[in-house]
Structure 1
Amino acid sequence: MRFLHTSDWHLGRSLHRVSLHDAQAAFLDHLVATARDERVDAVLVSGDIYDRAVPPLPAVELYDDALHRLAALGVPTLMISGNHDSPRRLGVGARLIERAGIHLRTDPAAVATPVVLSDRHGDVAFYGLPYLEPALVRDEFAVETTAHAAVLGAAMDRVRADLAARPAGTRSVVLAHAFVTGGQPSDSERDITVGGAAAVPAAVFDGVHYAALGHLHGCQTLTSRLRYSGSPLAYSFSEAAHRKSLWLVDLDARGEIHAERVDCPVPRPLARVRGRLETLLTDPALARHEDAWVEATLTDPARPDEPMT
C-alpha cells in the first residue's frame, strides 16, 4: 500500500506578520498533484491542520477546497487533530464526510477504531490518535499521572488490543501528534509541556508497522518505522536550513517500509546572516539571499542609525 504522510499545515499562519496564504495554497496544489501522480492509496495528515482553534475564513476555504479535490480523486484521507486545532470544531460533520472518504479522528475515545483499507496483500488498519492533552483525557484512559507518555501509552494499548483481535497478517499504521524522544524541535512549535512531561519514548509505538508523526516541524526519521514529515513550509527562521517535504511510503506485504521524500514548493527561501551592517550590505557572497526573507544579526560595536532602512 502506498500513502503520503504529511502534517503541520498550520493553515492561517503568517511569518512575522506576512501572510502565507498563497504559499499554503501552492503546497495544497502540490499535495493533490502528488497524490494523483503517484497513485497513492491514502493521504495521512498528522495534526495541526490549522494554526489556531478558531481559524480565519481563508484558511477554512483552503482546507475545504483541498478535501474536495482529494475526495474527487477517490483518495481516502485520514486526519487527526493536533495541539493547535480545536478537536470539536475540526470534527464537526466527521461521520457525514466519511462517506466521501475523508476520515477525521478527533475523539480520544475512538483511538482503537481504525479505518481499514485493503490492497492485494490484505488489510491495513489505520489508527488515528489525536493530540492527547493529559489533563483532559486522563479519566478516559484511566491514568494517574499527567504525563504524555502515560496517556499515549494507554491509547496505544487500546490500539494493540484491537489489532490483536484482527486477522493474522493485518498491517497497521498509527497517526499521532506528539513529541517523541530523539526528535529535534524548532522555534515554531507550541510548547506542549503544560499538564505534564512532554516527551514520549519511541517504544510507545511498538507493535505497529508505521507511525506517521506530527508536531515537530523538521522532517526526520527516528527509526525506519517512526517518522516526522515536518511542516510543508518554514514557520520560523530556525527552519532556514530545513528541506521541506512529504513522505511517500510504500508498505509491502510483510509490513516492511520503503519511504522517500517528495520536496515541497519553496515560495521564498529563508536566510540567517550575521555581521556588521556595512559588510552585510556590500558582501557579494550574500547576493544569493536577495530574494530571501532574511534574519540579520548585527555585530557592530555601536548600534547603526536606523539599520532597517
Structure 2
Amino acid sequence: MKFMHISDLHLGKRVNEFSMLEDQKDILRKILKIADEEKPQALLIAGDVYDKSIPTVEAIQLFDDFLCELSKRKVQTFIISGNHDSAERMAFGGRLMKESGVYVAPVYAGKTQAVVLEDEWGSINIYLLPFVKPANVKRFFEDEQIENYTDAIRVAVEQMKLNTDERNVLVTHQFVTGAKRSESEDISVGGTDNVDASVFDEFDYVALGHIHGPQKIGRETVRYCGTPLKYSFSEIHHKKSVTIVEMKEKGNVEISTKELAPLRDWCEMKGTYMELTEKAYYENLDQDSYMHITLIDEEDIPEAVRKLQVIYPNLMKLDYDNQRTRGKAAFLEAAEVEEKTPFDIFEELYEKQNNQEMNEEQKKLIHDLVEKIWEGGH
C-alpha cells in the first residue's frame, strides 16, 4: 500500500503581515498533482491544518476544496489536529465524512480506535492520535503515573493494544526528542514538551507533525515530513517535499520524497542600499521572492522600506548591520538581563506563544504566583 504524508499546512497563516493564502492554494494544487502521479491509496495529514484555532473563512474553504479533490480521486484521507488547531472544531462532522473516505481524529477521550485498511499483505491499522498534553491523558488514566509528555504518549499508545503481527501506522503531532526546530514553531521552555521516540517502537511507520523541517528521528520510519511551504527565514535552506511511503509485507517499508516548488521562494540579501538597487544586481534575482534585506550603510536610508519595495515588492523584513546597531544590540542584551523581572520574561513568552497579550485576570494570576515563589525562596 502506498500513502503520502504531509503536515503543518498552517492554512490562513500570515507572516510579517503577508497573507500566505495564495501560496498555500498553489502548493495544495501541486500536492494534488503528486497524488495524480503517485496514485496513493491514502493521505496522512499530521496536524496543524490551520494556523489558528478559529481559522478564517478563506482557510476553511481552501481546505474544504482540497478534501473534495482528494475524495474525487478516491484517496482516503486521515487527519489529526495539531497544537494550532481546535480539536473540537476539527472533529466536527467527522462521523459523516467517513462515508467519503475522510477520517478525522475525534477529541482525545482515552481511546484510539484503528482504521483498518487491507491490501495483498493483509491489514494495516492506522491510529490517529491528535496533539495532546499530559493533562489531556491524565484525566482518563488517573492511576497511571503521568508526569510529562513521554508518559502521556506512552499511556495513550499502550491502550491501543497493538497487534504487532500486523502492520501498524501512527499519525501524531508532538515534539520528539532529537528533532531540529525552526523559528516558526512554538517552543516550550526547557524542552518540557519532548517525547522520547522509544514510545513508538512497535509501530511500522510513524507520521509526525509539528516540526517544519523534514527529518527522520532515530530510524527511517519515524518521520517528520515538514511543512509544504517555508514560513520563516530560518527555513530558507529547507527543501520542502511530500513524503511517499510504500508499505509492503511486515518489515518492508520504502520511503521517498517528492520535492515541492513554491510559488515564491524566500531570499536573504545583505549590502549597501546602492548595491541592492543597482539594476545589474537585481535583474539577476527573483524579485518576487519574500525578502529579508540587511543594509550595511552607516546612515539610515530615509523611507528605505517603501523605496526598496518598488524593486522587491515582497520585502518582509529590513534591518541594519553597522557599528551603531551592533553596539546597540550588545547594550540592550546586557541591559535586558539586568532590568527584566520574572513577570516581564513570562509576559513576553506568553505573547510569542499565543500572538496576543495576557488579559488582566491572567496577569494577576502570574503576579501572585511569582510573588508566592519569591516569598518561598526567601
- TM-score by length of structure 2 reads 0.75
Q: Per-residue displacement from partner, 1:149-180 (whole Å, max 9, x unpaired)?
A: 12111112223x2335xxx3x10111110111
**Structure 2 segments unaligned to the other structure (5+ residues):** 308-378
Q: Given the alignment, which residue of 246, 251, 256 partners 2:247?
A: 251
* Contact 2:245/2:256 (<8 A) preserved: yes
Q: Which residue of 2 aligns with 1:230?
A: 226
Q: Which residue of 2 aligns with 1:116?
A: 116
Tell which structure's C-alpha radius of gyration is larger.
2
Matches within 5 A, 1:1-309: 1-109=1-109, 111-142=111-142, 143-159=144-160, 161-164=161-164, 168=165, 170-192=166-188, 197-222=192-217, 223-282=219-278, 287-308=284-305, 309=307
Determine which structure has greater relative contact order: mean sequence separation of CA pairs < 8 Å that are 6+ residues apart, divided by chain length: 1
* Contact 1:141/1:155 (<8 A) preserved: no
- 1:288 alignment partner AA: L
Give the 3 Å change call, closer, same or farther, for CA 26–270 of structure 1 in structure 2.
same
* Contact 1:26/1:265 (<8 A) preserved: no
Shift of 1:283: 8.9
Q: Distance in 1 between matches of 2:60 and 2:204?
A: 33
Q: Which residue of 1 aligns with 2:358?
A: none
Q: Distance in 2 between matches of 1:137 and 1:275?
A: 52
Q: Distance in 1 between matches of 2:286 and 2:73?
A: 39
Percent identical residues: 33
Give the 3 Å change call, closer, same or farther, for CA 54–162 of structure 1 in structure 2.
same
- TM-score by length of structure 1 reads 0.91
User: What SS does the aligned partner of 1:108 have?
Assistant: coil
* Contact 1:146/1:197 (<8 A) preserved: no
User: What SS does the aligned partner of 2:159 have?
Assistant: helix
Q: Distance in 2 between matches of 1:104 and 1:192?
A: 27
Shift of 1:34: 2.0
Q: Distance in 2 between matches of 1:99 and 1:178?
A: 28
* Contact 1:268/1:293 (<8 A) preserved: yes
Give the 3 Å change call, closer, same or farther, for CA 253–9 of structure 1 in structure 2.
same
- 1:229 alignment partner AA: C
Q: Distance in 1 between matches of 2:84 and 2:39?
A: 30
Of 31-40 and 71-80, deviating more is 31-40
Q: Per-residue displacement from partner, 1:204-236 (whole Å, max 9, x unpaired)?
A: 211111100000111112221111111111111
Q: Distance in 2 between matches of 1:58 and 1:201?
A: 37
Q: Distance in 2 between matches of 1:285 and 1:250?
A: 45
Give the 3 Å change call, closer, same or farther, for CA 97–193 of structure 1 in structure 2.
farther
Q: Distance in 2 between matches of 1:140 and 1:31?
A: 38
Q: Return the structure number with greater helix share.
A: 2
Q: Per-residue displacement from partner, 1:50-72 (whole Å, max 9, x unpaired)?
A: 11111010111111111111112
Q: Distance in 1 between matches of 2:162 and 2:109?
A: 13
Give the 3 Å change call, closer, same or farther, for CA 72–272 of structure 1 in structure 2.
same
Give the 3 Å change call, closer, same or farther, for CA 57–31 of structure 1 in structure 2.
same
* Contact 2:47/2:173 (<8 A) preserved: yes
Q: Distance in 2 between matches of 1:79 and 1:207?
A: 21
Give the 3 Å change call, closer, same or farther, for CA 193–105 of structure 1 in structure 2.
farther
**RMSD, aligned α-carbons:** 2.0
* Contact 1:244/1:263 (<8 A) preserved: yes
User: What SS does the aligned partner of 2:216 have?
Assistant: strand
* Contact 1:224/1:257 (<8 A) preserved: no
Give the 3 Å change call, closer, same or farther, for CA 300–204 of structure 1 in structure 2.
farther
* Contact 2:137/2:156 (<8 A) preserved: no
Give the 3 Å change call, closer, same or farther, for CA 144–237 of structure 1 in structure 2.
same
Give the 3 Å change call, closer, same or farther, for CA 291–152 of structure 1 in structure 2.
same
Shift of 1:101: 0.8
Of 136-145 and 55-64, deviating more is 136-145
Shift of 1:197: 1.1
Shift of 1:302: 3.4
